[in-house]
Amino acid sequence: MTDVATETRTITYREAVREAIRSAMLEDDRVFLMGEDVGRYGGCYAVSKGLLEEFGPERIRDTPLSEAAFVGAGIGAALGGMRPIVEVMTVNFSLLALDQIVNTAAVYLHMSGGQFNVPLVIRMATGAGRQVAAQHSHSLEGWYGHIPGIKVVTPATVEDARWMLPTALADPDPVIIFEHAGLYNSEGTLPDQGAPVDLETARIRRRGSDISLVTYGGSLPKAMTASEELARDGISAEVLDLRSLRPIDTAALLSTVASTHRVVIIDEGWKTAGISAEISSRIAEEAIWELDAPIRRVCSEEVPIPYPRHLEEAALPQVDEIVAAARELMGG
Amino acid sequence: MGADTHRLDLLRGMLRIRRFEERCAQLYQAEKIRGFLHLYIGEEAVAVGVMGALEPRDAVVATYREHGHALARGVDPGAVMAEMYGKQQGCSGGRGGSMHLFDAATRFYGGNAIVGGGLPLAVGLALADRLTGRRGVTAVFFGEGAVAEGEFHEAMNLAALWDLPVLFNCENNLYAMGTALDRSESQTKLTLKAASYGMPAWEVDGMDVLAVDEAARMAVESVRCGGGPHFLEFRTYRFRAHSMFDPELYRSRDEVENWRSRDPVESFKVVLMADGEIDEEAWVAMEEEVGAELDGAVAFAEAGTWEPEEELTRFVYSEVRR
């Protein structure tokens, strides 16, 4: 940090994503946005509102409800020299494009022996918490993290929402950006003069010495709230934001474990075969002797997400569960 | 390449593919080639006729039965054969094999082994041409089995909706692996499906290389001049089994023999002989020339080397920022 006071401003996560898209389009003619309702409607989550008027329908390109075709077209356009940002409205609908993502985008560089890289950015909303029931509430970013050949990032702060995109666009390979739908209205401060951030490292969002809360995306605010509550009990919790699910920053994981010796993993995905299992496994494989207590996971219940508010809340990770898990590990 | 040699070039192009594929079958028996191997024998006229109508600036997206497309597009036969062997001198560095031939130099974008999976990609390549003002054409090949896939319909709609320069080449060999068209489609007239998206759709005799050549030239010209996507259905037939594991229980010997009597290579040779453009001596010379090229390709593959195991994890992500 410099001594010079930098101007900062308050901005919503939604505005940060919009600013990132707009600025990328102003800087590079090869960048365009395509997806369902990104143009005239202004984006399902109003992210691209106003961009059609500024850039026109060729570069803010509304698509039919054809996820496989427009994600595949994004791959083809990337191969043809463009830098497409493909918006899939939500992760739920991305399942209709899985063939293109897994069988094409992730493997083209490999199958072609390094000849054809795919500089494609796919953005999609993920997560539950808005009473939109099972088919609109999936958290499947962990699935995507399973696939070699793509990079999977989960911006949880306005800074990452604003500055991961230019890095993703500069990347020669496919990057999927998961934006938790519950974060769009969240606010944060950004310096006026920001800079692109990396897509590989985890960040400590709160320093602590007693226990590590490891999380990402939409669960970060819950972990932060839990850490404040724990602080009132005299428990110093460190909050690690993974930021990326592929690659996973193993070094940062091991480092926080080495400093606190206790871990709670918070993930809106299900436990079984989920990303929390992978994180847990990496800690167990490489740092089990650092642990003073078993690893705990606070994840979604193993049910499809139900509609009624009380059941949805019961299904998702909540602050009190995180606090309870942490207290238990502290022996309290 | 004058008009007088054009017909001979078509014949030679088909013969190269025929002999290449026959050699592949032998090399498979000899266990030099492993995995899946899908031979193009019987369908040569389609690849040769369509590729001849394309220019270097155009792009090609093919299927898992794509040896013929790669050869006709100009990918080096030695590099293709080395790829079959899995050698690092292969056109995909050995990582792809028979179903995943790639070649950046000739804009050959694979080698896609998911039925219908290449169509959206072709739409995107054409979109890039549109957005950058290039006047390229993207030619995508797929079998009639692909028309049952959602990706076919989504891609056809998108190409037509956005008026993109895509040439859709449907190689209708009547069977999706072992499933006959009339056992999988409620509407077996495929041009009607294309017409429903408002694009010109022609049915072409895929056993007649001149018919393919003429249709492809007209279609490519029209696509290049802003006529939007076109759909060509080539009626053709696969003489050999679907792959090397297929006992061919689903079709009769008579049917196969009937189609074999329309062999695209043989019948075009007969035409050229009748027209006095080739005689027995010239045919033998053409066979020898093709055979020598093929011997060279096999020797190149044999002499190729295995990629060191230490390089296993390469090509997952790009090694340099581009």
Whether B167 is in a domain gets the answer: yes
Whether B322 is in a domain gets the answer: no
Whether A120 is in a domain gets the answer: yes
Best mutation target among B36, B58, B125, B162 (most A Cβ atoms within 10 Å) is: B125
Whether A83 is in a domain gets the answer: yes
Q: How many domains does chain B have?
A: 1
Kindly provide the ipTM of the predicted complex, given to two decimals.
Answer: 0.95
End-of-domain residue from the set A126, A156, A191? A191
| Whether A169 contacts A28, CB under 8 Å | yes
Both A110 and A13 in one domain: the answer is yes
Both A167 and A29 in one domain: the answer is yes
Chain B residues lying within 8 Å of A70, measured CB to CB: 120, 158
CA nearest A118 in B: which residue?
B318
Low-confidence ranges of chain A (pLDDT < 70): 1-5
Best mutation target among A55, A110, A121, A176 (most B Cβ atoms within 10 Å) is: A110
The span from the CA of B25 to the CA of A76, in Å, is 33
* pLDDT, tens only, B1-43: 455 799 999 999 999 999 999 999 999 999 999 999 999 999 9
Given A58, A71, A113, which is nearest B93 (Cβ)? A113
Chain A residues lying within 8 Å of B307, measured CB to CB: none
Give B315 to chain A, closest Cα distance, Å. 5
Both A42 and A187 in one domain: the answer is yes
Whether A308 is in a domain gets the answer: yes
Whether A126 is in a domain gets the answer: yes
End-of-domain residue from the set A137, A156, A191? A191
Helical spans, DSSP H, in chain A: 13-27, 51-55, 67-79, 91-94, 98, 108-111, 141-145, 158-170, 220-232, 250-260, 275-287, 309-315, 319-329
Both A38 and A171 in one domain: the answer is yes
Chain B residues lying within 8 Å of A146, measured CB to CB: none
Q: Which amino acid is at B34?
A: R
Using H for helix, E for strand and C for coil, what is the string for chain B? CCHHHHHHHHHHHHHHHHHHHHHHHHHHHCCCCCCCCCCCCCCHHHHHHHHHCCCCCCEEEECCCCHHHHHHHCCCHHHHHHHHHCCCCCCCCCCCCCCCCCECCCCEEEECCCCCCHHHHHHHHHHHHHHHCCCCCEEEEEEHHHHHCHHHHHHHHHHHHCCCCEEEEEEECCEECCEEHHHCCCCCCHHHHHHCCCCCEEEEECCCHHHHHHHHHHHHHHHHHHHCCEEEEEECCCCCCCCCCCCCCCCCHHHHHHHHCCCHHHHHHHHHHHCCCCCHHHHHHHHHHHHHHHHHHHHHHHHCCCCCHHHCCCCCCCCCCC
Whether B321 is in a domain gets the answer: no
Q: Region B73-79: what's the mean pLDDT?
A: 98
End-of-domain residue from the set A169, A191, A213? A191
The span from the CA of B128 to the CA of B261, in Å, is 43
Best mutation target among B108, B317, B320, B322 (most A Cβ atoms within 10 Å) is: B317
The span from the CA of A240 to the CA of A213, in Å, is 6
Given B88, B119, B124, which is nearest A77 (Cβ)? B124
The span from the CA of B267 to the CA of A314, in Å, is 73
Both A77 and A131 in one domain: the answer is yes
pLDDT at A5: 58
Contact A115/B104, CB-based, under 8 Å? Answer: yes
pLDDT at B245: 84
Both A143 and A19 in one domain: the answer is yes
Whether B316 is in a domain gets the answer: no
Whether A196 is in a domain gets the answer: no
A67 is catalytic: yes
Give A24 to chain B, closest Cα distance, Å. 17
Contact A64/B154, CB-based, under 8 Å? Answer: yes
pTM of the model: 0.96
Q: Which of A15, A67, A179, A321 is catalytic?
A: A67
Contact A76/B315, CB-based, under 8 Å? Answer: no
Q: Which of A87, A136, A159, A268 is catalytic?
A: A136
Residue B257 — pLDDT band, cuts 50, 70, 90? very high
Whether A197 is in a domain gets the answer: no
The CATH number of the domain where A322 resides is what?
3.40.50.920
A228 is catalytic: no
Q: Does A70 touch chain B (CB under 8 A)?
A: yes
Contact B125/A112, CB-based, under 8 Å? Answer: no
Whether A177 is in a domain gets the answer: yes
Contact B104/A76, CB-based, under 8 Å? Answer: no
Contact B123/A108, CB-based, under 8 Å? Answer: no
Both A134 and A253 in one domain: the answer is no
Chain B residues lying within 8 Å of A75, measured CB to CB: 120-121, 124
The span from the CA of A82 to the CA of B132, in Å, is 8
Per-residue DSSP letter, A90: E
Contact A113/B94, CB-based, under 8 Å? Answer: yes
pLDDT > 50? residue B292: yes
* pLDDT, tens only, A250-269: 999 999 999 999 999 999 99
Chain B residues lying within 8 Å of A79, measured CB to CB: 109, 121, 124-125, 128
Both A233 and A147 in one domain: the answer is no
Q: How many domains does chain A have?
A: 2
Given B91, B126, B316, which is nearest A149 (Cβ)? B316
Q: Does A330 touch chain B (CB under 8 A)?
A: no
Q: Round the average pLDDT of chain B to a whole number and report it.
A: 96
Q: Does A119 touch chain B (CB under 8 A)?
A: yes
Whether B291 is in a domain gets the answer: yes
pLDDT at B3: 54
Whether A129 is in a domain gets the answer: yes
Q: Round the average pLDDT of chain A to a whole number and report it.
A: 96
Both A152 and A124 in one domain: the answer is yes
Both A85 and A220 in one domain: the answer is no
CA nearest A75 in B: which residue?
B121
pLDDT at B31: 96
Contact B114/A103, CB-based, under 8 Å? Answer: yes
* pLDDT, tens only, B201-248: 999 999 999 999 999 999 999 999 999 999 999 999 999 998 888 889
Contact B128/A77, CB-based, under 8 Å? Answer: yes
Q: For A178-182, B115-119, B161-165, B318-322, which range has the lowest pLDDT when averaged over its residues?
A: B318-322
Contact B102/A109, CB-based, under 8 Å? Answer: no
Both A320 and A253 in one domain: the answer is yes
Contact B127/A80, CB-based, under 8 Å? Answer: yes
pLDDT at A192: 87
The CATH number of the domain where A162 resides is what?
3.40.50.970
Whether B205 is in a domain gets the answer: yes
The CATH number of the domain where B234 resides is what?
3.40.50.970
Q: Does A331 touch chain B (CB under 8 A)?
A: no
Chain A residues lying within 8 Å of B157, measured CB to CB: 64, 66, 69
List the domain range (segments joined by +) for residue A72. 8-191
Both A43 and A95 in one domain: the answer is yes
Give A190 to chain B, closest Cα distance, Å. 28
List the domain range (segments joined by +) for residue B14. 3-311
Give A214 to chain B, closest Cα distance, Å. 27
Whether B273 is in a domain gets the answer: yes
